[in-house]
Structure 1
Amino acid sequence: MSEHAEAWPVLDHAELAPMTEYVNRVVQVAGKYSLDEPFEVGWGNIVLEVTPRGLCTPPFRRDGVTFSVHYRLLDGEVVIESDRGSRTLSLARTSVADFYAAFCETAGQLGVPHPRSDRICEIPQAPPHFEDDGVERVWDARSARLMWEAFDRAADGLEAWQAPFLGHRPRVGVMWGGFDLSATRWRPDRTAPGPEGPPFQRNAQLHEYVSVGFSFDNTHSGGGSPLDIGMYAYIWPQPKGLADRSWGVEGAAWHPDAGLALLPWEALRRAPDPRAAIVAFGDAVYDAAVATAGWPADLVDPRVDGWYMSEHQPGTPVRS
């Protein structure tokens, strides 16, 4: 195993679950501001950026104030930064309810309005509102760092996978509802979402897409065990013929009950180059979409870096 591979941390679901459950809730507080933005197909505008210190919202503009919210996981704090100044509050709170109250008070000092909703979403076992979640929370710096390292490394691979796609592709980031890192490729072919599910989910299914991502618990998509930390992928609508396909990386497999191709984190760590393995996994998923769902192969350009493009004429054949 290379030094690069050894740098990929061991992730244990039981160890990380208390922190992922807490952070999933508190990132929804600032995430709510993204719902005020014009809707982008597939909710592409709501994702949180993976930064060198944690997770950050895009800039928001409300009531004459421009601001962003940075969940600095490596520092155990949240920074609300605006054109009027900045404020910092600790993530080491006694509860989600305590964090929400402190956030609203701190944001108000900068003229930032409260989020328009206080509902906790996409977490079935959670109370309905932030104010109702009084469960005692203990901040664990080690788990916070492991969480950030996983998001950071997965984002690196997913951004490399996304780069050559010519169609609509929202930026890679964390969907604050389900707390999964998402990279999605869209095409404008309309689909017919089923009658079940909440409106936000059905509105995400109005067009065909291929999604590859990372999750700390792949039960978020309807299947798998609580130990399924790792990469996931699916094609919407789900075509036939996926059961017998290869998924590009040793250890990756199709899970029909979940409707997902899964690449467990441990299998990813064992790969000679985990970052390249994420790209290979994503390419295999897109190849499956081409072969089984009629996606166009010519929507993907050769994968090169910016130095190559700065030194070669358009159309120059790329040597592998």
Structure 2
Amino acid sequence: MNERMMDAGGAWPRLRVDDWTDTKDTLHMWTQIVGKVRLAHAPLLNHWWQVTFYVSSRGLTTTAVPYGTGAFEIEFDFIEHQLRIHTSAGSVRTVALEPKPVAQFHAETMRALGELGIETRIQATPNEVEPAVPFAEDYGHASYDPAAAHLFWRQLLQARRVMEEFRSHFAGKVSPVHFFWGAMDLACTRFSGRGAPAHPGGAPNCGDWVMAEGYSRELSSCGFWPGGGEEGAFYSYAYPEPKGFGEYPVAPAEAFYSKEYAQFLLPYEVVRQSDAPDSTLLSFFRTTYDAAADGAGWDRAMLDCDPGRLKDFE
């Protein structure tokens, strides 16, 4: 692995996007395969929350997915570099995370599910990417650098930790901190409680009705995306976007509004290099939420809260 990719001494690891693009793109396809397995079995939740992954102590997990009268769980283990499928009956199957084509990973994963008695049919083409090569025909994505995958997971660990702190300051409807495999981003979304105009869609190889469900309520969303910038980027956007949103003063000074993406962005490396990374990132999440909530007139007295409000009772 290239020495430029990591800072072993820091909690916030260095991982240059250009140094792991091939692995990232392959891993993206692998997560889509597993995500579609969860989609095939989990009942629909608002905004597609039933399809997401969660950052675990070893990687990314589906958590328990219902199947018959039991359940199964699939986890990308970025420490031992295995895909593990566990069932509530106690059975386990693994698929090695190693350099291999998407087609092979797809075949091995579906075979493992079959051996466990989990009958699964998925829409076997990726979403939100162009071109959308069917998984069974994808021999172009075949890279896996275990050190890079491990560093990406460590990025997610740090981002999740701070996003959970940010989430705790909201008493209204708010999503978990979860990983969407469509765009390969970690996200947390707050809702005002009001409806939103129908989303126009437009994501590549993804039905407009998918986005219409995802954005059916007025929201402010933040997250981390391993693209954009040298080492990935934190983002924050509003739907629908209130007037003056992009001109709202936000922190830190390095944050900016991208007209291309219609959202505020903060390069990951700004946070990593900060003397106080958590505070720097929290300032970005809080001020960009202010831009959305104040700009759209959210009932902040009702929705915002102090997570330390019960400390006197402990």
Report whether the alignment pairs 1:76 with 2:81.
yes
* Identical columns (%): 25
The runs of 5 or more residues in structure 1 that have no matched partner are: 219-225, 314-320
Report whether the alignment pairs 1:293 with 2:296.
yes
- 1:137 and 1:257 map into 2 onto residues whose CA distance is 30
- 1:300 and 1:136 map into 2 onto residues whose CA distance is 44
- 2:112 and 2:261 map into 1 onto residues whose CA distance is 41
RMSD: 2.2
**What's 2:306 paired with?**
302
Contact 2:54/2:177, CA 8 A, preserved across alignment: yes
What's the offset of the Cα at 1:311? 3.6
Report whether the alignment pairs 1:247 with 2:250.
yes
Give CA deviations for 1:76-100 in whole Å, capped at 9, x if unaligned.
Answer: 1100000231111101152000001
Please show how residues 71-220 of structure 1 align to structure 2 within 5 Å.
Answer: 71-84=76-89, 85-127=91-133, 129-135=134-140, 137-197=142-202, 198-218=208-228
- 1:90 and 1:300 map into 2 onto residues whose CA distance is 44
SS at match of 2:218: strand
SS at match of 1:159: helix
Contact 2:219/2:239, CA 8 A, preserved across alignment: yes
What's the offset of the Cα at 1:188? 2.8
**What is the aligned counterpart of 1:10 among 14, 19, 34?**
14
With the length of structure 2 as denominator, give the TM-score of the two structures: 0.89
Contact 1:79/1:87, CA 8 A, preserved across alignment: yes
What's the offset of the Cα at 1:4? 12
- 1:208 and 1:141 map into 2 onto residues whose CA distance is 39
Contact 2:95/2:108, CA 8 A, preserved across alignment: yes
What's the offset of the Cα at 1:39? 2.5
- 2:260 and 2:20 map into 1 onto residues whose CA distance is 25
- 1:195 and 1:138 map into 2 onto residues whose CA distance is 35
Gap change, CA 1:243 and 1:61, over 3 Å in 2: closer
The runs of 5 or more residues in structure 2 that have no matched partner are: 1-6, 203-207
| Structure 1 residue identity aligned to 2:139 | G
- 1:263 and 1:133 map into 2 onto residues whose CA distance is 33
SS at match of 2:310: helix
What's the offset of the Cα at 1:58? 2.1
**What's 1:231 paired with?**
234
More displaced stretch, 241-250 vs 162-171:
241-250
Q: For this pair of structures, how many residues does the alignment match? A: 300
- 1:189 and 1:140 map into 2 onto residues whose CA distance is 44
Contact 1:45/1:170, CA 8 A, preserved across alignment: no
**What's 1:22 paired with?**
26
What's the offset of the Cα at 1:41? 2.2
Give CA deviations for 1:199-257 in whole Å, capped at 9, x if unaligned.
Answer: 11122121101000000114xxxxxxx64711001010011112332222231111123
Contact 2:245/2:292, CA 8 A, preserved across alignment: no
Gap change, CA 1:136 and 1:255, over 3 Å in 2: closer
**What's 1:261 paired with?**
264
SS at match of 1:75: coil
- 1:236 and 1:195 map into 2 onto residues whose CA distance is 11
With the length of structure 1 as denominator, give the TM-score of the two structures: 0.87
- 2:135 and 2:32 map into 1 onto residues whose CA distance is 9
| Structure 1 residue identity aligned to 2:37 | Y
**What is the aligned counterpart of 2:62 among 42, 53, 57?**
57
More displaced stretch, 189-198 vs 108-117:
189-198
Gap change, CA 1:76 and 1:4, over 3 Å in 2: closer
